Structure 1
Amino acid sequence: MTARRVLVATGLKDVLPDVPGLAEHWGHSVVHCPYCHGWEVRDQPIGVLATGPASIGHALLFRQLTEDLTFFPQGIHLREATRARFAARNIRVVDTPVQEVVDNEDGTLVGVRLTDGQVVARRVLAVATRMKARTEGLDGLQLPVEDLPDNMGRRFASGMAGTTKVPGVWVAGNATDLAAQVGASATAGAHVNSLLATADTDAALAAAQGETPAL
């Protein structure tokens, strides 16, 4: 197969913490976005499983959706000022690390077991995942990749409208902007289409003038 241009739109994958039982509930009782999933899990006992400093803000957002919120720091340091803010919002902090997810007999999530054996009842777990662009099978393109601050993820580096340092190759959507939605992806597609339209016109003009067209 040959093409004049390549648009990489492979998306991303969410990397979850290595907690047994967590992945099995991903997209159902384990969620990541208060705006995408918050309405569906509102008013339930929610636990925020910290993955980094950004999880602090995550907790405050999910607190808007429930009166029963527990924060599991998972080893991240909480300043006293942060603990005071959590206390003011009635957010419980459980410093003992989470060991595994606990299920009911029917397979539904009912809580988490801590390393000391205690079980904390929860119906929903919110996790700020680490997002990674899907790069499998694209090594031959030698596209530059970069890590985001605070261990938030890894993406293809790109310029305006998804352009890359590799001639003829664009990247779009979550492969380059981990928070992008459909509109951002369309911009890259429109840019590629515009350049192809110009190239077609240039080629037609060259042919009309008896020159060898460039694609």
Structure 2
Amino acid sequence: MTSAHDTPAHDTPAHDTPARDTSAAPDLDVLVAGGGAAGLAAAVTLARSRRAVTVVDSGQPRNAAAEGVHALLGREGISPAELLAAGRGEVAGYGGEVRSGEITAVRRLEDGRFETTVSTAEGETTLTARRLLIATGLTDELPDVPGLAEGWGRDVIHCPYCHGWEVRDRSILVLGTSPNSVHQALLFSQLSADVRFLEDTGRGPGLDADQARMLAARGVEVVTGEAAGVESGVRDGEDRLTGVRLSGGGLLSAEVVVVAPRMLARTEAFDSLGLRLEENPMGQFLSVDPAGRTSVPGVWAAGNASDLSAQVGAAAAAGTMAGAQLNAELVMEGL
């Protein structure tokens, strides 16, 4: 277990690391799957309540490609890597543990505990916990347009609140490949006067009359065609996006492409538990109550695994709530 003495001073809370006697209780109170904002916030809350908590993180944050985290009060613009490093230090500072690895299998024991198989660089290990918190985030499934993935998080974006200020007043092309695409175009029209909408005839649902009127009212030009690929070139000395090539051969010039990915919660390792999933136009996610309880007793979820639209601040808040409720549940169980 990482101790407070192994943590950089600027990451460690200003207090003595609380001692915890684990000799009589070798199992974890809570195993947190995923070390993003939700998982780390939950772990800090649990560790501050002197719970035996371990975070298992695969090191593949969804926002790794982003230059900074936005709309996070007090930490505006901080790099994703720096934010997570600080969070890991805080978990360790309160006596929690963060392990690098990936949960590959979970099974429920007869006594209700959860036995998890964790794959690490050193091999496989097994961790057993009284409760399980899933904070594994989601996977963005992009339309099959060549070049989209290469620009993802830089010139190819999806969220006006995550990236909008940074692309203000630029030429923006919204790909109409999703039921959410019109909503994206309306929001991005608040940030730039140069927004166009590609009604992708090969992938998207198409526009109805009301949607066409809304786009026109916001000054968004509608172009019909099928995206064949995203193109780039040298601009200001850097390789940057230049537009979208249509299947007919024409090029729609743009500095920024907006696309709505299908978002899928990362739950494969937990399928054996029989968790209930829900779907909406954005994608698929774990069904939870307001505190984070899933459909399976003892299993909780927080962050993008259960809320596809949660930004970093909302994910961290959900993790804090889940951590507090988990501690309370364990206290009551102990009675």
TM-score normalised per structure 2 = 0.56
* Mapped partners of 2:214, 2:137: distance in 1: 36
Matched positions, count: 199
Match of 1:87 in 2: 216
> Contact conserved, 2:287 with 2:306, CA < 8 A, in 1?
yes
TM-superposition CA deviations, 1:13-48 (whole Å, max 9, x none) = 111111100011000001111111100001110000
The 3-state SS of whatever aligns with 2:150 is helix
Match of 1:123 in 2: 255
Pairing partner for 2:231 from 71, 80, 102: 102
**In the superposition, relative to structure 1, how do residues 80 and 4 fare at CA in structure 2: closer, same or farther (>3 Å)?**
closer
Match of 1:54 in 2: 180
The 3-state SS of whatever aligns with 1:117 is coil
In the alignment, does 2:324 pair up with 1:194? no
Match of 1:208 in 2: none
Q: Give unmatched runs, 5+ long, in structure 1.
A: 203-215
**In the superposition, relative to structure 1, how do residues 86 and 197 fare at CA in structure 2: closer, same or farther (>3 Å)?**
same
In the alignment, does 2:164 pair up with 1:35? no
Amino acid paired to 2:296:
V
Match of 2:8 in 1: none
Flag the structure with higher strand content. 2
Match of 1:78 in 2: 207
Higher alpha-carbon deviation: 175-184 or 77-86: 77-86
Match of 2:30 in 1: none
The 3-state SS of whatever aligns with 1:4 is strand
In the alignment, does 2:132 pair up with 1:6? yes
**In the superposition, relative to structure 1, how do residues 84 and 159 fare at CA in structure 2: closer, same or farther (>3 Å)?**
closer
The 3-state SS of whatever aligns with 1:10 is coil
* Mapped partners of 1:11, 1:85: distance in 2: 33
The 3-state SS of whatever aligns with 1:17 is coil
**In the superposition, relative to structure 1, how do residues 77 and 191 fare at CA in structure 2: closer, same or farther (>3 Å)?**
same
Higher relative contact order (CA 8 A, sep 6+): 1
Amino acid paired to 2:317:
G
In the alignment, does 2:312 pair up with 1:173? no
Greater radius of gyration (CA): 1
**In the superposition, relative to structure 1, how do residues 28 and 195 fare at CA in structure 2: closer, same or farther (>3 Å)?**
same
Same amino acid, percent of matched pairs: 49
> Contact conserved, 2:176 with 2:206, CA < 8 A, in 1?
no
How far is 1:60 from its partner? 1.1
> Contact conserved, 2:292 with 2:318, CA < 8 A, in 1?
no
* Mapped partners of 2:292, 2:320: distance in 1: 10
CA RMSD of aligned residues (A): 1.6
In the alignment, does 2:184 pair up with 1:184? no
Amino acid paired to 1:192:
L
How far is 1:143 from its partner? 1.3
In the alignment, does 2:271 pair up with 1:142? no
TM-score normalised per structure 1 = 0.86
Higher alpha-carbon deviation: 26-35 or 103-112: 103-112
Flag the structure with higher helix content. 1
- List structure 1 segments (4+ residues) > 4 angstroms apart after TM superposition: none
Amino acid paired to 1:125:
V
* Mapped partners of 2:214, 2:269: distance in 1: 46
Amino acid paired to 1:83:
A
